[in-house]
Amino acid sequence: MSLEVKQQSLRLGRFERGVHLVTGNVLRGLTIASGCRAGLLHVQLLHTSCSLALNENASPDVRMDLEAFLDQLVPDDTGYFSHTAEGRDDMPAHVKSVVTGSSLILPLSNGHPVLGTWQGIYLCEHRDAGGERRLHATVIGDFS
Amino acid sequence: MSLEVKQQSLRLGRFERGVHLVTGNVLRGLTIASGCRAGLLHVQLLHTSCSLALNENASPDVRMDLEAFLDQLVPDDTGYFSHTAEGRDDMPAHVKSVVTGSSLILPLSNGHPVLGTWQGIYLCEHRDAGGERRLHATVIGDFS
Amino acid sequence: MSLEVKQQSLRLGRFERGVHLVTGNVLRGLTIASGCRAGLLHVQLLHTSCSLALNENASPDVRMDLEAFLDQLVPDDTGYFSHTAEGRDDMPAHVKSVVTGSSLILPLSNGHPVLGTWQGIYLCEHRDAGGERRLHATVIGDFS
C-alpha cells in the first residue's frame, strides 16, 4: 500500500440563490481522485455565505423545500441582525452557512466517492448574487 | 510509521423514530480500527433521512429533548413543503438530516475513538419507518 | 512522499458565552502541523455544550448576530425540555452544539490551514460558565 496526499482547487461557477445538485460539477472537475483505490476526499468551500450538504439526488422538490426551510429559518428581514451593511441577504447567508456546513468529507473507492443510492452533493447558494464559488479539494489515500 | 487505509460497510439495524445512542453499536461492528495506533475514523450514513451527531452520552433526557427540538424545528405538517408524496415525515427528515449532518470523523488512538468523557455517537432516525440503516466506514492511520 | 499521523491535545481556555474568533488561539497552540507539506487537520472539541464553525473573520457583528440567532433558535426558557437539572442554559447548549457541530476538518498546505480570505475558526460557547475547553487535534499528511 502506498499512501499519497493530493490537493487541487476547483471552480464551481456561479449559481442562483437556491439549493443546487452539483455532484457532477464536482466530480468532473476533480482530477486528484483518479487512481485512488481507497481513501478520503475532503472538499471545502472557501466562502462564508454558501454551504455544502449531502442529500436526496432525485427530486428537485427536495431542494426547493430545503431552500424554503432555510429562508423561513433565517428570513432576509430578520429584525435583530446588526450586520446589515452588505445587504439583507448577507447575515442570513452566514447563519445558513454555519447551520449547513461548508465542507464535506466522503469515502473514495476505486477513484469514486462512495455515496448511497439517493445521495448527492448540494451547493447551497445563500446570496442573491454570490459570484463564482471555489472549492479546495484534498484526497488522502492509497494510489498503489 | 506505516500508514494504511481500510474500509468496511456496517449495518446498524432498524431504529424507531428518535435519537439513539449508538456508540456501542458502531464500535462493536467496526473491525478496521483494530491495530490502528493513531489516525482518523470516518463514518458516513448512506441515507438521506437520518443523521449522525456527537453529544451527551449519559442522560436519555438529552436525546428526547433533541428529538423534540428537531420535531418543533421541522414539523411533520409543515405547510409549505411540496415534496410530500413519500409521507409527511419524509421532507422534514431530509431537512433534519442536512441540519444535523450524515457523517462523523473521529480521532483514533490505540484502536479506539478519542471522545470526551461525556461524548457519544447519536443516530437520529427521522423517519417513522426508516428501515435498516447502513454506514460506510474508513480508517486512515498508522498500523505499524 | 512520506505520510505521517500526528496527534495532540490543545487547551483553548475559558470563554464567555458567545461566539469567538479563535483562529489564532488554535494555530498558536498547534505544533503538529509544522512541516506538513500537504494534508488534513482535524480538530474536535471534547465537550457537548460548545461547538466549532468556520465563518466570517472580519466583522464582530457577524459573531454577535450568530449568537443572537442561536439564542432565538433555542431559548434558555424552552418550555418543553425535560433535561433541566444542570441549568436552563444546558439543554439549549446541547442542541446548539448538534446544530453547529463540534469538529472541523481543514486542508493543510505548507504547515498552514487553507482558508478562504474571509474564513476564520469560531468557538461557540453555549454555556454561561462552560469552563476550560479542550480540543483533540490530528494531522495526516506528507512530512517528507
Q: Taking CA B102 as the corner, what is the angle to CA B101 and CA B108, rounded to the nearest 5 degrees?
A: 100
The pLDDT, as a whole number, for residue C1 is 87
H/E stretch holding C69 reads: helix C60-73
A interface mutation test: which of B7, B30, B136 has the most A CBs within 10 A? B7
- Phi, psi torsion values for A5, nearest 5 degrees: -115, 135
Cross-chain residue pair A64–B82, CB shorter than 8 Å: yes
Residue of B nearest to A99 (CA): B99
**pLDDT at B117 > cutoff 90:** yes
Cross-chain residue pair A62–B94, CB shorter than 8 Å: yes
Contacts of C79 (CB under 8 A, 6+ apart): none
The answer to whether C3 faces chain A, any CB pair under 8 Å, is yes
Cross-chain residue pair A105–C105, CB shorter than 8 Å: yes
- Ranges of residues in chain C with a pLDDT under 70 are none
The answer to whether C6 faces chain B, any CB pair under 8 Å, is yes
Average pLDDT over residues B43-63: 98
Cα dihedral: B49, B53, B59, B64 (round 10): -30
Q: Which residue type sits at B72? A: Q
Q: Which chains touch C (3 or more CB pairs under 8 A)?
A: A, B
State the pairing for strand pair C3-13/C133-142: antiparallel
CA distance C3 to chain B (A): 7
Q: What is the DSSP letter of C144?
A: -
pLDDT along chain A (144 residues), means of 10: 96 98 97 98 98 97 98 97 97 98 98 98 98 98 97
Whether this model's pTM surpasses 0.95: yes
Give the closest of C47, C78, C98 to B116, CB-based: C47
The pLDDT, as a whole number, for residue A36 is 98
The answer to whether A3 faces chain C, any CB pair under 8 Å, is yes
Strand partners, A7: A138
- Find the farthest-apart pair of alpha carbons in chain B and give their distance in angstroms, rounded: 56
**pLDDT at B104 > cutoff 90:** yes
Q: How big is the A-C interface in CB pairs under 8 Å?
A: 95
Residues of chain B with pLDDT > 90, as a percent, come to 99
Query: CATH classification of C3-142 is 3.30.40.10, yes or no?
Result: no
Buried residues in C110-138 as b, exposed as e (16+ CB within 10 A): ebebbbbebbbbbbbbbbeebeebebbbb
The residue extents of the domains of chain B are 3-142
Q: What is the DSSP letter of C121?
A: E
The pLDDT, as a whole number, for residue A1 is 87
Q: Which of residues 33-92 of A touch C (CB under 8 A)?
A: 40, 42, 44-48, 73-74, 78, 80-83, 91
The pLDDT, as a whole number, for residue A43 is 98
- Kindly indicate whether the ipTM for this predicted assembly is greater than 0.95, answering yes or no: yes
Cα dihedral: B36, A104, C57, C17 (round 10): -70
The pLDDT, as a whole number, for residue B101 is 98
